[in-house]
Chains A and B, each alone.
Chain A
Amino acid sequence: MDRLLNVVALLSAGLIVVVLASLRRAHIRVEYSVSWLAAGVCLLVFSRAEGTLIWLAGVLGLAEPPLALLFISFSVFLLVFYRFSMIISELKDANIALTQRVAILQYELQSLHEKGQAEKAG
């Protein structure tokens, strides 16, 4: 169990470092990094709290405490993915509305241009 917890702690620390590095290089926006940083910190904390894992495994009826860590990891990343699904949906709606608005404005601009040319010619 100790080895597994150490590996998870290392991976969590790695995740936090990668996210911070991405933030520094502006590869990821601050608002979208929060979920990943929270996930990394959460896993790091649990991987260092063996007593809590044993207690949680007892509460969940799991035979092995490492399964509790897997359960936590799964839940945390499920939440992160759900949040990103919501963000993607909002972005898609915004993209559609923007695309339609751009098309309509372009259309109206073209109409005005044609009208102006017709008036000039007339």
Chain B
Amino acid sequence: MRRPTGADSLLIIVPAYNEEGAVGEVVCEIRQVMPETPVLVIDDCSSDCTAVVARMAGADVLSLPHHLGLGGCVQAGYRLAYELGYQYVIRVDGDGQHDPRDLPAIFRALRESGCEMVIGSRFLDGEENHTSFLRGLGIRFFRLVLRPILGKPVRDPTSGFVGVNRAALEVFSRSFPLEYPEIEALVVLQRKAFRFVEVPCRVRPRRAGRSSITAVKSFYYIIHVLLGVFVNVLKYEGWRPRRR
């Protein structure tokens, strides 16, 4: 991968686990939209040909020797991006649900808003029918939980289509939630008194594979995330001088 040059260097990371059916197309689409931007697929020790397919599509591949789960996988990408010196990183999931045509808008918001994190939100257009009933209920619940903690409403707290700047990258390369990281990551940023903004984005059905969150796991998800949010609230560091 090229070393980043310039003040606006961007890396697109694609966490993928057993996504050989989708990751190639995802990488191709990203390269069509942003041909000059390097794409890094983080292969979470897949048992299929995810890494090969991603390489053939033109991505660099960071292969984890053990399966770490989504949080560990994404954090590995953040760590590498931070160590290489990138200023911005945008995460696109390897299952094809995120539409790469929204990447320029997220990148623009990252550069122009001054916020540490930009979330590609499915619900800013007012439509709530992008997700199943149960998941929609969960999203509404977490909106309510997060509203007083974050000090502002967040429409799509479970979105994985996020961009971060170098300040957030530094934090995430050191500390990032391991399981179901999206909601907790917001609170991790909040405890540093960082800011976020949402931009509208499109979602599509998965190209291949199945979601890792089943009905039974949903209950574990809610308890796990609530506990993670609570712990991060306890660690609030907003009153300390900000490290830049």
The CA of A106 and the CA of B76, in the complex, are separated in Å by: 12
In B34-89, the 8 Å CB interface with A consists of 60-66, 68, 72, 75-76, 79-80, 83
In A76-122, the 8 Å CB interface with B consists of 95-96, 99-100, 102-104, 106-107, 111
The answer to whether residues A96 and B65 also contact, given A104-B76, A104-B80, A107-B80 and a CB cut-off of 8 A, is no
Q: B68 to A104, Cβ gap below 8 A?
A: no
Footprint of B on A, CB under 8 Å? 95-96, 99-100, 102-104, 106-107, 111
Q: A103 to B62, Cβ gap below 8 A?
A: yes
The CA of A100 and the CA of B81, in the complex, are separated in Å by: 12
Q: Is B178 an interface residue (CB 8 A)?
A: yes
Q: Measured between C-beta atoms, what is the minimum distance from A91 to chain B in Å?
A: 13
The answer to whether residues A99 and B62 also contact, given A104-B80, A107-B80 and a CB cut-off of 8 A, is no
Q: Which residue of A lies closest to B42 (CB)?
A: A103
Number of B interface residues at 8 Å Cβ cutoff, please give it. Answer: 16
The interface residues of chain B lying within 8 Å CB-to-CB of A104 are: 62, 76, 79-80, 83
Q: Is B1 an interface residue (CB 8 A)?
A: yes
Q: A103 to B1, Cβ gap below 8 A?
A: no
Q: A102 to B65, Cβ gap below 8 A?
A: yes
Closest 7 CB pairs of A and B: A100-B76, A103-B64, A99-B66, A96-B72, A107-B62, A104-B80, A102-B65
